[in-house]
Structure 1
Amino acid sequence: MKIHIHRRHLSLVLAFFLLFLAVTYWGVVAKFLKTILRAAMPLLIGCVVAYIVNLLLRQYEHLYQRLLPGPRAQRFKRVVGIVLSYLSIIIIVALVIRLVIPEIISCVRLLITNHGRVINRFISTVQENSSLKDFWKSFNPKHLDWDKIGKYVGYGFGGTMKTVMSTASSIVSATTTAVVAFFFSIYLLIYKEMLARQFNRVMDTYCSKIKRPVMHVIRTFDESYSNYIVGQCKDAALLGIACFIGMKLLGMPYASMIGVVTFFGALIPIIGAILGASIGVVLIFAVSPIKSLIFLIFIIVLQQFDNRVTYPLVVGKSIGLPSVWVFAAVIVGGGISGILGMMLTVPLFAAIYKLVTEDVQRRHANVNN
C-alpha cells in the first residue's frame, strides 16, 4: 500500500518544524537576526535614500526628456538626473546650514551676554564666602591619601581614554555606513529597471498565483509613501518660507533659524507644528517677551491658514486617511520610534486603510451580486 504525501502537506510540516526551532532556540535566532540586520544596515539606509532621491530623479528625467528628446541625448538621461538630484539635496542642506549657523551663534552670544552678570555674581559670592576662606586656610595637603587619589586619577584617565576610543570608533563606523549607503543608493538608481525586471521574473517563477495581489499591495504602499513625502515637503517648504517672510516683515529676531525649524517641524504631523512654535517662542522670549507674544499670535494664524487652505491644496486627499487615524498613527509611531516613527506610520496607516477599504468594498459587491 503506497502512501501519497501531498506537497502542500509536506510544506506545512516543514513550516511547523521551522517555527518550533525558532521558538525553542529564540535566543540564538534573535542574535543571528540582529547580526544580519547590523551587517545589512548600510544597505537598508541606501534603499531609503534611493527611494527618496528617486522622487527627484523622476522629475529631472521627465524634464530632461522634454528638453533633449534626441536618441543620443537619452543615453545621459540617468547620469544627469542622478547628479542633479544629489546636487539639489546638497545645495538644500548647505543653504540650511548657511541660514541656521549664524543664527545659533547670535543666540549663544546673546545668552552669554545676558547671563554674564549672573556668572560674575556667582564668582564674587564664592570669593567672599567666609566659610570657604576658613576651609582653604585649614586645608593641609599632607593629610591626603595620595595612593587613593592616584588610583582615582588613573581610573578616570582610563575611563576618559575608553570613552574617546569608543566615540572615535562610533564616528568611523557612522562614516563608513554613510559612504556605503550613498554608493549603494547610486547603484540602485542606476539599475532600478533591471532590478524591477529581475523581481518580476522571480515573482513569475515562484509566486505567479499571488503576483497580482502582491504587486497591488506594493504599488499602494509606494503611492502612499511617495505622495506623503512629496506633499509634506511642499507644504513644509511653503510654511517655512511664509514664516521667514512674515517674521522679517514684523522685525522678529532669528527669522532664518525659526523658518528652518518650522519647515522641519511641519514634516511631522500634528506634533511638529506645536514643536516648531514652542522653540520659536522660547528663543524670541530671551530677546523680548512682547515680540515673543506677537510671534505666538502670528504663528497660530499662519498654521490655521496652512491647515485650512495650503495643506488641502498642496497635499489634498493624496494620503486619503481620516484625521482620527492620522492622530492614531502619530501616537503609535511616536511610541515605537519617536519622531521618525510619527513620520513613517502615517503613510503606513494610509496604505493599510486603502487596502482594507478596497477589500471591504469588493466583498460587499460580491455579496450583493
Structure 2
Amino acid sequence: YLKEIDKYGIFDYIKTSIDELFSKLGQSISPMINKTVTQLISLTSNLINFVLGSIISVYILKDKEYFANNLNKLTYAIFPVEKADSVTEMFKEIKKAFSKFLVGKLLDSFIIGILCFIGCIIMRVRYALLISLIVGITNMIPYFGPFIGMIPAAIITVFYSPFKALWVTIFIFLLQQFDGLYLGPKILGIQVGLKPFWIILSILIGGGFFGVWGMLFAVPTAAVIRILLGKYIDKQFKQKGISR
C-alpha cells in the first residue's frame, strides 16, 4: 500500500517540504540568535564598565581632598596666577554641578522607590519593600537601570502569581516612563539649573555619542557648559557696555 502511494512521490514531497521548512526556520532564527547574543554581550560589557567605573569613583571620592589639592597645585604651577584663578573657579563650578546632580539623582531614586512601594502595597504584592529597594537603587543607573530593576521584581512575583507579575512589570515600566520623561528631568533641572527639555536632550546626545557613561555625565556636563557659557556672555556684555 505504501509502495502504491510512493508512486506519486508523496513521501519525497513531504521530505522536501520538511527540509525546506527547517531550512527557512534556520535562516530566520540564526539572525535573531546572533542579534540577541550581540545585545547580551553589549549589555554585559556596559554593566561591567559601569561597575568598574563606580568602584573607581568610590576611591576617587574617598581621596577627593588629596586629588583636589594636587590638581590645585598643578594648576598654579602651570598657569599664571590670574589664569590659574580662573581655572580653579571653573573646577569649583564643575564640582558644584556634579554634587547637585548626585543629590538630585538620589532624591529622584528615593521618590521612585517610595512610589513603587505604594503601588506594590495597593496591588498587594509580597516583598513590596524589597522590590521597591531594588527599583530605587537600580534607578541610579542610567538607561539600563529601570530594566535591571524590573527583572528581579518580576522574578520575585512570578513564583507565587504569574498574573500579578505581569501587572508588577507593567506598573514598574510605566513608573520608569514617568520618571524618565517628567520626574527625573524636573528634579535634576531644579538641582542643576537646566530646563527639563535640555536635561532630556543632553541625555540623548550623551548616550548617542558615549553610551552609558555619556548618559551618566550628560546632565552635569550640560550644567557646567551652561555656567561657563553664561559667564562668557556676561564678560562679553560687560566689555561692550551692554546691560542685560
**TM-score category of the 2 structures, normalised to the smaller one:** 0.5 to 0.7
Q: Would the alpha carbon gap of residues 221 and 47 (structure 1) be closer, same or farther in structure 2, given more than 3 Å must change? A: farther
Q: Would the alpha carbon gap of residues 362 and 235 (structure 1) be closer, same or farther in structure 2, given more than 3 Å must change? A: same
Task: Give the structure 1 partner of residue 99 of structure 2.
Answer: 226
Establish whether residue 266 from structure 1 lines up as the match of residue 127 from structure 2: no
Task: Give the structure 1 partner of residue 58 of structure 2.
Answer: 49
Task: Give the structure 2 partner of residue 182 of structure 1.
Answer: none
Task: Give the structure 2 partner of residue 206 of structure 1.
Answer: 78
Task: Give the structure 2 partner of residue 139 of structure 1.
Answer: none
Q: Distance in 2 between matches of 1:46 and 1:290?
A: 36
User: Normalization by structure 2: what TM-score?
Assistant: 0.57
Establish whether residue 300 from structure 1 lines up as the match of residue 174 from structure 2: yes
**Equivalent residue for 2:110, pick from 216, 226, 237:** 237
Deviation at 1:211, TM superposition (A): 0.9
CA contact (8 A) 1:239 1:306 kept: no
Task: Give the structure 2 partner of residue 288 of structure 1.
Answer: 162
1:145-198 deviation digits (Å, cap 9, x = unpaired): xxxxxxxxxxxxxxxxxxxxxxxxxxxxxxxxxxxxxxxx4xx35xx26x6555
1:204-241 deviation digits (Å, cap 9, x = unpaired): 44312311221121011101111111221132123224
**Equivalent residue for 2:203, pick from 303, 309, 330:** 330
Q: Distance in 1 between matches of 2:78 and 2:108?
A: 42
Give the count of matched residue pairs.
188
Q: Would the alpha carbon gap of residues 345 and 250 (structure 1) be closer, same or farther in structure 2, given more than 3 Å must change? A: same
CA contact (8 A) 2:135 2:150 kept: no
Deviation at 1:344, TM superposition (A): 1.9
Gap regions ≥5 residues in structure 1: 1-43, 53-184
Establish whether residue 252 from structure 1 lines up as the match of residue 107 from structure 2: no
Task: Give the structure 2 partner of residue 142 of structure 1.
Answer: none
1:291-322 deviation digits (Å, cap 9, x = unpaired): 5336634763687489767975x656221233
CA contact (8 A) 1:281 1:292 kept: no
CA contact (8 A) 1:258 1:276 kept: no
Q: Secondary structure at the match of 1:318?
A: helix
CA contact (8 A) 2:112 2:175 kept: no
CA contact (8 A) 2:113 2:135 kept: yes
CA contact (8 A) 2:206 2:218 kept: yes
Q: Give 1:345's aligned amino acid.
A: A
**Equivalent residue for 1:354, pick from 219, 227, 236:** 227
Task: Give the structure 2 partner of residue 178 of structure 1.
Answer: none
Deviation at 1:259, TM superposition (A): 1.9
Deviation at 1:359, TM superposition (A): 1.3
Q: Secondary structure at the match of 2:167?
A: helix
Deviation at 1:50, TM superposition (A): 4.1
State how 1:131-280 maps to structure 2 within 5 Å.
185=62, 188=63, 192=65, 196=68, 199-207=71-79, 208-253=81-126, 255-268=128-141, 271=143, 275=147, 279=151
CA contact (8 A) 1:243 1:259 kept: yes
User: Normalization by structure 1: what TM-score?
Assistant: 0.41
Q: Distance in 2 between matches of 1:302 and 1:45?
A: 22
Q: Distance in 2 between matches of 1:364 and 1:302?
A: 43
Deviation at 1:275, TM superposition (A): 2.7
Q: Distance in 2 between matches of 1:255 and 1:356?
A: 46
Identity of aligned residues (%): 19
User: Which entry has the higher C-alpha Rg, 1 or 2?
Assistant: 1
Gap regions ≥5 residues in structure 2: 1-52
CA contact (8 A) 1:228 1:347 kept: yes
Q: Would the alpha carbon gap of residues 304 and 332 (structure 1) be closer, same or farther in structure 2, given more than 3 Å must change? A: closer
Q: Distance in 1 between matches of 2:219 and 2:124?
A: 36
CA contact (8 A) 2:206 2:214 kept: yes
Q: Distance in 2 between matches of 1:285 and 1:368?
A: 68
Task: Give the structure 1 partner of residue 218 of structure 2.
Answer: 345
